[in-house]
Amino acid sequence: MPEQALKVFLAEQLRASPEVKRLVLGFSGGLDSTVLLHALLEVAPCFQRPLLAVHVHHGLSLNADAWVAHVQTLCADRGVPLEIHRVGVAQQASLEAAAREARYAAFAASLSAGDALLLAQHQDDQAETLLFRLLRGAGVTGLGAMHAVSRFALAGDLSVPQWRPLLGLSRSALEQYATDNALSWVEDESNRDIRYARNFLRQEIFPRLRSQWPAATPTLAATALRLQEADGLLDELALEMAQTCIDDGWRLLIPAWRALTPARQRLLLRYWLQQQQLPMPGAQMLDKIGRELIAAGDDATPLLTWPGCEIRRYREHVYAMVPRPPVDREWQCEWDGRLPLTLPDGRVLQAEMNTANEKQPAFRVCYRRGGERLRPAGQTQSRALKTLLQEAGMPPWERERVPLVFAGDDLLAVAGLAVNTAAAAGIGLRLVLK
């Protein structure tokens, strides 16, 4: 049964993802991944893709070295290339979560463009995940549990396909396959420790559920699939709303948002944050965004924060961003304008100038300290920089981070402000901030 299911799955996914040239298996040496490895080797002639097994040594068990020896022997006997990663697991509240983070980091080290990562979770795992997340109060997205087809993020914007081809098969089916093919595997003794939430569900709760509802596992797994479908439909609805409620700069437009029902408002907020890859807040914070930040007066500049994200409002727009370090208003730097200048916050300032001009002045770069004035080209009177930035629609928290370029005591140009001075125009000075 696993071989046929795998053959159908791979044929469909490789047809949809022809860029995949290598299959990378997360290989613990346990029952699930051992079955998947064996089935992959059986169907390998149909697909002509090289296979790599990746084993992660977490160092959490006294038997970890024996597991490494087992997977080395098994892979060597079958001619399967094997990479072993020895990782440290951070001590934190959830040891399971820390081990998972370390494992995924190890997988990422073995993956590159053109790979697909294969994981061996099965139907029982899916049912446990759904119930576990339900008990933690997850929404529709979380209750969709594990997807058979998803993406695994690598460095930067790169990602590769992540496939779980065994999600439709029960653990008992995998056990039968392993017995029929005389497979040997390792047993992680921590799987019997019911102090871990998943193990408690697996050892204590699911046996009782099945005694009353024999089909509990496939029923819950099927429910997860329906929730994935519902989540996809909600994404489509959010995308439609985004056309009128979110601008090209990923700013949330308050008047359009206010016209939505409360449920649609919360859906759009989640979509807006998710698309910017910002951490998702809890339900109380989502309500607070609407109740306190968006409902604030038009002249207010409220701020809400949670780990990894801050939400600000200016005029009729709401901004979401990664928290930024404060700027040192006393910082300044001499600059010739020829090479890019790295600012203290990591941004880079570049100058475009008329290089033929031999009278190029020496520049001084600093941040706003208050009271600066600038005389726009073609005008006889100087104007307060604060007023110019307000007229340009620049939010207050951005104004303090704007690099100013001086020649002596004269303000020549302001990064991000189209208004320029006659002196800057004379040397063709234009600032680019990245």
- What CATH number is attached to the domain comprising 251? 1.20.59.20
Q: Is the pLDDT of residue 434 over 60?
A: yes
- Helices and strands (H, E) in the chain, number of each type: 16, 19
* 225 in Cβ contact with 291 (< 8 Å): no
Rg (C-alpha) for the chain, rounded Å, is 29
Same domain, 191 and 85: yes
pTM higher than 0.85: no
More confident residue, 53 or 400: 53
pLDDT cut 90: percent of the chain above it:
55
Q: Within this chain, do residues 340 and 305 fall inside the same structural domain, yes or no?
A: no
Q: Is the pLDDT of residue 68 over 60?
A: yes
Residue 49 Rama label (left phi>0; alpha psi -120 to 50; beta): beta
Domain CATH number, residue 187: 3.40.50.620
pLDDT tens by residue, 327-357: 888 888 888 777 888 888 888 888 777 755 5
| 102-119 residue pLDDT tens | 899 999 999 999 999 999
336/375 same-domain check: yes
Q: What are the φ and ψ backbone dihedral angles of 428, each rounded to 5 degrees?
A: 65, 35
Q: Is residue 137 included in any domain, yes or no? A: yes
Residue-averaged pLDDT of the chain? 89
Flag whether 396 is in a domain.
yes
Mark which of 224, 259, 293 sits at the end of a domain.
Answer: 224
CA dihedral 10, 15, 17, 22 (to 10 degrees): 50
In this predicted structure, the answer to whether residue 145 has a pLDDT above a threshold of 90 is: yes
Range of the domain at 370: 332-433
DSSP H or E run through 419: none
Mean per-residue pLDDT, 350-378: 76
My answer on whether 317 and 336 are in the same domain is no
**End position of a domain, from candidates 295, 321, 347:** 321
Block residue for tokens 């995924």: 104
Average pLDDT over residues 314-333: 88
Within this chain, do residues 75 and 142 fall inside the same structural domain, yes or no? yes
315 and 413: one domain? no
- Asked if residues 309 and 322 have their Cβ atoms less than 8 Å apart, the reply is yes
Residue 182 belongs to some domain of the structure: yes
Indicate the pLDDT class of residue 147, thresholds 50, 70 and 90: very high
Is pLDDT above 90 for 260?
yes
In a domain, 229, yes or no: no
| pLDDT value at 267 more than 90 | yes
Is residue 234 in a domain?
no
Distances (CA, A) of 346 to 43, 116, 253, 310: 50, 34, 29, 19
Residues 119 and 144 in one domain: yes
Look at the chain and report how many structural domains it folds into. 3
Please state the separation of Cα 65 from the chain's center in Å: 33
Residue ending a domain, among 279, 299, 321, is: 321
Residue 235 lies in a domain: no
Decide if 189 is inside a domain: yes
Bigger pLDDT: 91 vs 25: 25
Provide the pLDDT for residue 184.
94
pLDDT value at residue 356: 54
In a domain, 142, yes or no: yes
What pLDDT is stored for residue 42 in this prediction? 95
Distance, in Å, from the CA atom of 288 to the CA atom of 290, rounded to the nearest integer, reads 5
Are 54 and 25 in contact by the 8 Å Cβ rule? The answer is yes
277, 387: one domain: no
Q: Tens digits of per-residue pLDDT, 117-128?
A: 999 999 999 999
My answer on whether 51 and 102 are in the same domain is: yes
Within this chain, do residues 96 and 151 fall inside the same structural domain, yes or no? Answer: yes
Check pLDDT > 80 for residue 428.
no
Tell me the pLDDT tens digit for each residue of 156-196: 889 999 999 999 999 999 999 999 999 999 988 888 888 88
Say if residue 375 is in the same domain as residue 264.
no
